Structures are given as C-alpha cells and as structure tokens.
Homo-oligomer: A and B are copies of this chain.
Amino acid sequence: MSDPVLARLQADREGIVARLVEYASAPSVSTDPAYLDGMKAARDILKSRLKSAGFSAVQELQAGGHPAVYAEWLGAPGKPTFIVYGHYDVQPPDPLELWKSPPFAPEIHDHRLYGRGVSDDKGPVSIAIETLSAFLAVEGRLPVNIRLLIEGEEEVGSATLGAILEKHRDLLSADAVISADGARWRADLASINVGSRGSMRLEIAMRTAAKDLHSGRFGGAVRNALHEMAALLSSLHHPDGSIAVEGYVDDVAPLDDGERKRIAAIPFDEAGFFEAIGASAHGEPGYSALERLWHRPTIEINGMWGGYQGAGSKTVTPAESFAKLTTRLAPGQDPARAGALIEQHLRRHCPEGVALTVDRNDPGTAAYTVPADHPLLEAAEDALETALGKPPVRVRIGGTLPLSDIVRHALRLDTVMMSFSTADEDFHAPNEFFRLSAIDDGVKAWVAFLRLLGRQTPETYPPFRQSR
C-alpha cells in the first residue's frame, strides 16, 4: 500500500516544480551587494511558505551578515529533534554571456530545470520543505521534531553562521543535523556523502609602482606587476601539480591502505570523468583522481587580473595586479595554520620593492568526516536503500559544507547529508541545472527517512545525539 504522504507528493509534482521555479527566480547572490533585493525576495518566499505549511516561530536569525531563515515544528515530544539545513543563497551568474537561458528565469529543457541555484541548493531544499509540508498537510504532524535552518551565506563560506548558532543556541537545541546541501556524486550510482573538504579564501594584491607606466618609457628598467603576480602564483605549485607551499601537506591525515582499497573498489570511469569536462587528469603524483579530490588539499587561483583587458592593445607596464585564491583543506588541516603557511610562502617569494597585500580575513572551514558508525548515517543509508532499491556507496565530496564543521564546533552535533542535487549539474558555472527526476527520488527518500527516524528505538538505532 502506498504511503499517503508520498502519494500526495507524487500527485503534486507539477506544483512542486512550479514553486521551485518561483523560488529560483529570486536572484539571491550573497557575494555581491547588488543582489540584496534578490536575497530578501528568497527569504520572503521561504517564510511565507513555511508559515502556510504550519511551521511555528518562522523568523530571520541574524548575526551581522545575511540572515538565515528559521522555522520549527516541535509537536513530537519524546521523539528526537533534527536541524534540517539548507541555504537560499546562490553563486554569481557570471559569465552571463555563456548562459543559454536567463539564470534567474528558470526554464525546463529535456527534463532538466536550468537556472542559477536550482541544483545548489534551491532544488534540494525544496524537496525537504515539500516533504515536511506534505506530512503536515496529510497527517497534521511530523514523525520527529524539526528545526529548519536555511542560511544565506553558504556561497561565501558561511561567514556568520557560527555566530548565528552561538547567538540562538536556545532555538537550535537538537540531536543531529540533516543537510539538504551537499551533492550526490553521480547520476548513475547510489551514494551517500560521509565527508567533505574544508575551504578558505584569500585575496592578494601586488604593487610595483605608484601608477601604471608607459611600456616604452619604463619597460625593461622596472618591475611589471603582472610579471610579479605570474611568478608568485606559479611558485605555489610544482610543475607536476603538487603544492609547493612548505609544510602545507604535513598535517594532512595519511590515507591508510584499507581506505585506499575501498576507494579503488568504487565503480568509477576515470577516463569518462575527464572526457565529460574536456580536461585531462593532472595533480599530485602518487594519488588517484578520487584520492586527490577527497583526501588531498588544493590551492586554486579562482581569479587573476591586472592591466588592460579591453579591445586591441595598450602598451602599459601595469603597477597593480590581483588574485583571488581558495584552498580546499584535507582532513587533518587546520584552516588558520594553512592560511599562515600560504601567507608565509607568498611573502618569502615576493621580491623586495614589490608591495604585497594578503587578505585572509576568512577564518575558513576544516574538513569534516561523519563518524562511520553514526546512527543517523545508518538511518540515511536505510532510507536511500528503500527509496532507490539498492544500498548507497559511501563517498566523500571534494567540495565544502561549512555547516558540518561549524555545527560540530558551535553545537557539538554531527551532520548527515541528504541532498538530491548531483555533482555534474554545473553549479558555480553557467547553465546550472537540476534533474527533475531528483524530485522523484528525493521525496521517496525523505519520506522513508523521516518515518525511520520517527520509529527510532534502542532496537532500531542507538540515540542520535553522540557525545564528542
């Protein structure tokens, strides 16, 4: 007999898609102040829907940055309480000219919804909210207590999320966190994420003269800020792709043989993986591609610029140059120490006579690993097996879920990911899309997951709250 909550969700699929389209039309780019109105629009949509669905205490939680949206349903005394996490902010849509449809007017083509943020993270968050709303509509209650926390700063490193958690501890008492963010690895493999790399961003600027100079009048007798930036940035890596920053990989937890064998056993078409993106494999020698992505750190230049970029040419010797960097931190690395090592390296490689500015205001996020025997992880695996018909493979993501590190520090809670985006959906790139089939899988899994959690007894799963 079909589950009545699931049946309602399946019958209302068109409505679910229409509401996602409306939600994804709000241009909620957190990194750029030009989009403040879009941020507010996304929050307003969330608050209005959560109120209508029957959630209480719907409000914005603020700690100096973009507010998070909070809502709760606590009508299941004796049952466990979970924070369900997601984010309403999205990446910038640049470069706009590469989009085939408008980033903030989502369009469906070939069973995929195209638009900025549809996969990261508005689609997956919508699946969670739609499922919870359906429980409330059909049964008038949820199987467990839920505190929804949809933040607005995930794409800028969750800058004030820690402060929000500290400030609103009373609202956020729970047993564990379920994240609706964190992509499924592949469309062709049932998997569950058990960890993520950390991240930290830096910006650097170099100045070689008081002003831009004529390349004829000065060229050859003074430093050029672009030459200096090229040399400095190229010093960060060895030609083989390994990181050249002294001591940088020393703290990384070594991969043991058991884990390497487990990773090697995961079905993975490495050639196809690189072919799909038109790139060739390149990276730290001695590691497979999956090992590099899941267990090794990076230092990536995300943007680099200086001098004349317009049409034609300009014979200038530029005095200034700029770069934006992020690092992905591997398990074992401390963000503050990693940042200090990068800055030391940059200063050591910056020649005299060049002014170097290193902005590392970002405290960063450490890598996270959910304990292998955590009962919430086991329940999630059971739910996915029920929904998808096969047990999921445990995988990691190369990306970052700042939340898991932040809640571990602030609330001492663990986080399990239950997201239905897929990692190939071009989030952070033009033409981001979301497979509409993820809605079908997602609502099945979420219904099963919530029912399993509601039936928790010492015989099914140990208590979800782990002392750590």
User: Which residues of A come within 8 Å of B, CB atoms?
Assistant: 30-34, 91-92, 94, 98, 156-157, 183, 196-197, 199, 201, 203, 208-224, 226-227, 229-234, 236-237, 239, 241, 274, 277-284, 289, 292-293, 296-298, 300-319, 321-324, 326, 328, 351-353, 397-400, 423, 426-430
- Residue contact B283 to A209, C-beta cutoff 8 Å: no
Give Cα A62 to B229, complex, Å. Answer: 41
- Residue contact B429 to A220, C-beta cutoff 8 Å: no
Closest 3 pairs (CB-CB, A-B) = A216-B399, A31-B312, A210-B278
- Residue contact B428 to A314, C-beta cutoff 8 Å: yes
Q: How far is the CB of A30 from chain B (nearest CB, A)?
A: 8
Residues of B within 8 A of A156 (CB): 312-313
Give Cα A230 to B229, complex, Å. Answer: 8
Give Cα A326 to B398, complex, Å. Answer: 40
Give Cα A311 to B353, complex, Å. Answer: 28
- Chain B CB count within 10 A is highest, among A94, A293, A307, A352, for A307
- Residue contact B222 to A233, C-beta cutoff 8 Å: no
Q: A230-B301, A305-B305 are in contact. Are A221 and B316 (CB under 8 A)?
A: no
Residues of B within 8 A of A351 (CB): 239
Set B277, B311, B319, B324: member contacting A33, Cβ < 8 A: B311
- Residue contact B315 to A302, C-beta cutoff 8 Å: yes
Residues of B within 8 A of A215 (CB): 298, 300, 302, 326, 328, 399, 428
Chain A interface helix/strand/loop/mixed: loop
A-B contact pairs, 28 of them (CB 8 A): A32-B312, A208-B279, A211-B429, A214-B423, A215-B300, A215-B302, A215-B328, A215-B399, A215-B428, A216-B328, A217-B399, A218-B277, A218-B279, A219-B293, A220-B398, A221-B293, A222-B280, A223-B241, A223-B279, A226-B302, A300-B317, A303-B307, A303-B308, A303-B318, A304-B321, A309-B322, A313-B324, A313-B326
Q: How far is the CB of A213 from chain B (nearest CB, A)?
A: 6
Give Cα A316 to B215, complex, Å. Answer: 32
- Residue contact B231 to A239, C-beta cutoff 8 Å: yes
Q: How far is the CB of A417 from chain B (nearest CB, A)?
A: 13
Q: A301-B227, A309-B305 are in contact. Are A281 and B94 (CB under 8 A)?
A: no
Residues of B within 8 A of A426 (CB): 211
- Residue contact B227 to A233, C-beta cutoff 8 Å: yes
Residues of B within 8 A of A227 (CB): 233-234, 236-237, 300-301
Q: A31-B314, A214-B427 are in contact. Are A220 and B305 (CB under 8 A)?
A: no
Give Cα A224 to B327, complex, Å. Answer: 13
